Amino acid sequence: MTEALLEPTEQVAHVCVSSGLAHLDRPFDYLVPGDMDGVAPGVRVRVRLAGRLLDGIVLAVDHDRAPGVTLQPLQRLVSEQVVVTEAQVRLASLVAERWAGTLDEVLRWCVPARHAATEKAEPRAWPRVDTGPATHISGALRALDDGRRFLDLVAGGARPRAHWRVAPVTGPGDTDRLGDWRAGIVQAVGAALSSGRGALCCLPTVEAAEELTGLLTDSLGAGTVAVLHADQPVATRWRNYLAVIRGQARVVVGTRSAVLAPLADPGLIVVWDETSDLHDEPRAPYPNTRDVAALRATAEHCALLLAGYSCSTRAAGWLGSGWLAGITTPLPRLRAATARVRAPGDSDLALQRDPLARRVRLPDLAMSTISHGLLSGPVLVAVPRAGDLIRPSCGSCREPIACPVCSGPVKGRRQAGGSTQLTCTWCGHQLEDWRCANCGSTTVRSGVVGAATTAAELGRSFPDITVIDSSGDHIHEAVGDEPALVVATPGAEPAASSGYAAAVILDAVQALARPGLDAVAQTLDHWFHVAARVRSGSEDGRVVIVGPPEDRAVQALIRSDPIGWAGAELAERAEAGFPPAAYAALVDGAAEAVASAAERLAAALAEAELSEEVSVLGPVVDEAPRPGAPAARIVVRCATPLGPRVTPLLKQLRTAHSMRRESGPLRVRINPTGQL
């Protein structure tokens, strides 16, 4: 045996370096110094790369090194605490591959900021979970045959996948809790825990996460739930994350990034309000919580429950293919439990009674519904926009008002004494002493009626009733059961303890006319959320939507059939070649960067023999982009089966842009329905 073979081999750490550069998306090898015994997979380190001292996470430690290559040593072991598990790395790699991202981007998304004092402190004892109360909650999923079947399968250790369409109803009249999504999720979590596995719940907002945490804590015991969201203090979030990765916490509740929490042996992943656009991560690589949850459920062989008052086109596709099972309330039972929904002018008789029902903003049916509802409680009036003067125009000639400095859009607010303050939404310039350049008038009208204007109008119509404007920077969390008019924008609706007596949805046409592939889906989801805040039909709950009764989305609300609407929408997108029925990607950024990317993509598609099967639309250049908005973009479309071949080519665009240090940003988004 030679002397060389007797020499000890130095350990090598393979590190994911947080460089922020797409072309450095690979593990880098470093020598492990002899005094760093704590270096292990998943720990944080500091390394030197290209003269810079950067953070990194160790992916593996072994003796594998290329012959003849001189390696730099690790600069510092930040902590011996493992912050990423092997399962997390595998899943993060899948996410990066699916969304044309880097491993570093995904790990930075899911691993919270470190809090050294919390990490060094003695970990608190994590209470033992008591699953008894959760498994005995009545109603909700247990009130439905398919729901009980789902719970039994999860409790038995199986991994079913289902979409639960929650009934849009609230209040004491919902005796079977068909609209109590919190109770249903607690039941599902209890079923997973009773099988000896953990549960992970993802919600679109911090408020929803806190609501669910409260009920879970009541059912499972104080301190048993690890909550993860960005609004927490750094110490609290890091303490809860450590409890998960150390195997103490078995139940995790959080917002988007919690979908990648290091929960060992998950038995169930739940995504509430899966249609919400708040599940779209705004940072690269721009994944969606629902889609990552489906990816994780498949990779880690656990149950999946998507739930909401409505249904996304993605979930509709999975339901249609049989990949998801549906849990719904039978139609007769649903109609008996929920408030009746009507649209003004929905019949010839209604038009005879009110010939202007389809022309005015507040028709007789809306006003009578408000008056009737105020007899027994608060009434919710939903409007799509906050503010007073939105898209203002000249009061005489209707010429839109634009900023004289940057030509940007203007917003306005009426002042005491009748004057109007106009401010540019782009550059902030105030238009003092404005006068119409077209006709010389100084009068201003609003192109779109906002919440403030609506509240003022209703206050004049109901002078003895309290009017609450919950929008913009003055959002109310809750209202009492006494009569009141609540004007609210999407997401700002206060909770009513016993539910609203009635709700009126205004400006449906304007809401449906918003640009964007998913604009109608998001609008319909909001409408169902409004309806879900109204008391049951047995308590005379009523909902009115002021919009065209023949519109498909309006009909979906009236018939309470979001799944049917989503299925029809998916079929139309399949014909047009839009996601999720087809694969699409958006490449945007600086004009020069997008132009270079388009040339490289054309060459890459030709080399891969995909030019005939993949369409590239653009580049389209915006000559006057909004501040911070991309100046140019291209859209890439193809059949879904070709997606795995096209995504790596799009990732190469980011790599080339980074490697050549080209000026300006370049972003790649896969299936970005909110941006198309």
Length of the chain: 676
Of residues 330 and 673, the one with the higher pLDDT is 330
pLDDT at 177: 96
- What mean pLDDT is reported for the chain? 92
Q: Hey, what long-range contacts does 507-513 have (CB within 8 A, 24 or more apart)?
A: 507/361, 507/383, 507/384, 507/385, 507/448, 507/449, 507/546, 508/545, 508/546, 508/547, 508/548, 508/551, 508/554, 509/547, 509/548, 510/384, 510/385, 510/448, 511/384, 512/547, 512/551, 512/553
Burial letters for 69-91: b for 16+ Cβ neighbours within 10 Å, e otherwise? Answer: eeeeebeebbeebbbbbebbbeb
Q: Which residues contact 502 (CB under 8 A, 6 or more apart)?
A: 339, 369, 370, 372, 373, 379, 380, 534, 541, 542, 543, 544
Dist CA 96 CA 285 (whole Å): 7
Dist CA 427 CA 624 (whole Å): 13
pLDDT at 3 exceeding the cut of 70: no
Nearest CA to 585 out of 515, 652, 656, 520 is that of 652
Tokens of 558: 């009236």
pLDDT at 476 exceeding the cut of 90: yes
Mean pLDDT calculated for residue range 193-208: 96
Please list the residues that pair with 584 across neighbouring strands. Answer: 637
Annotated binding-site residue? 406: yes
Burial of residue 176 (number of CB atoms within 10 Å: 0-12, 13-18, 19+): middle
Nearest CA to 592 out of 667, 663, 668 is that of 663
Mean pLDDT calculated for residue range 537-548: 95
What 8-state DSSP symbol labels residue 538? G
Lowest mean pLDDT among 230-244, 269-283, 380-394: 380-394
pLDDT at 62: 92
Main-chain dihedrals φ then ψ at residue 663, nearest 5 degrees: -75, 150
pLDDT at 6: 42
Mean pLDDT calculated for residue range 117-129: 85
Dist CA 201 CA 273 (whole Å): 11
Nearest CA to 238 out of 117, 125, 92, 105 is that of 117
pLDDT at 387: 66
**How do residues 205-224 score in pLDDT, each as one tens digit?**
999 999 999 999 999 988 89
pLDDT at 449: 74
pLDDT at 627: 73
If pLDDT is split at 50, 70 and 90, which confidence band does 271 have?
very high
pLDDT at 49 exceeding the cut of 70: yes
pLDDT at 665 exceeding the cut of 90: yes
Please list the residues that pair with 410 across neighbouring strands. Answer: 424
**How do residues 232-243 score in pLDDT, each as one tens digit?**
999 999 999 999
Main-chain dihedrals φ then ψ at residue 367, nearest 5 degrees: -65, -40
Main-chain dihedrals φ then ψ at residue 210, nearest 5 degrees: -70, -40
Q: Domains along the chain?
A: 9-85 (3.40.1440), 132-333 (3.40.50.300), 339-387+450-559 (3.40.50.300), 389-449 (no CATH), 583-670 (3.30.70)
Annotated binding-site residue? 638: no
C-alpha R_g of the chain: 28
Mean pLDDT calculated for residue range 37-45: 96
Of residues 4 and 549, the one with the higher pLDDT is 549
Dist CA 237 CA 222 (whole Å): 17
pLDDT at 420 exceeding the cut of 80: no
Q: What percent of the chain has pLDDT over 70?
A: 96
pLDDT at 504 exceeding the cut of 50: yes
Mean pLDDT calculated for residue range 347-357: 79
Nearest CA to 88 out of 258, 260, 237 is that of 260
Nearest CA to 245 out of 119, 129, 59, 122 is that of 119
**How do residues 623-647 score in pLDDT, each as one tens digit?**
767 777 788 999 999 999 999 999 9
Lowest mean pLDDT among 121-135, 357-371, 507-521, 543-557: 121-135
Burial letters for 555-594: b for 16+ Cβ neighbours within 10 Å, e otherwise? Answer: bbbbebbbbebbbebbeebeeeebbbbbbbbbbbbbbebb
Give the start-end residues of each E strand in 384-425: 389-394, 410-414, 420-424
Dist CA 73 CA 71 (whole Å): 6
pLDDT at 411: 80
In Å, how far from its chain's centre is CA 79?
A: 33
Nearest CA to 12 out of 86, 59, 64, 82 is that of 64
pLDDT at 437 exceeding the cut of 90: no
Q: Are 271 and 289 in contact (CB under 8 A)?
A: yes
pLDDT at 143 exceeding the cut of 50: yes
H-type alpha helices, 323-472: 331-337, 348-353, 364-373, 451-461
pLDDT at 408: 81
pLDDT at 251: 97
Burial letters for 390-400: b for 16+ Cβ neighbours within 10 Å, e otherwise? Answer: bbbbbbeeeee
pLDDT at 7 exceeding the cut of 70: no
Annotated binding-site residue? 424: yes
pLDDT at 2 exceeding the cut of 60: no
pLDDT at 440: 85
pLDDT at 4: 45
pLDDT at 675: 78
pLDDT at 447: 64
Annotated binding-site residue? 302: no
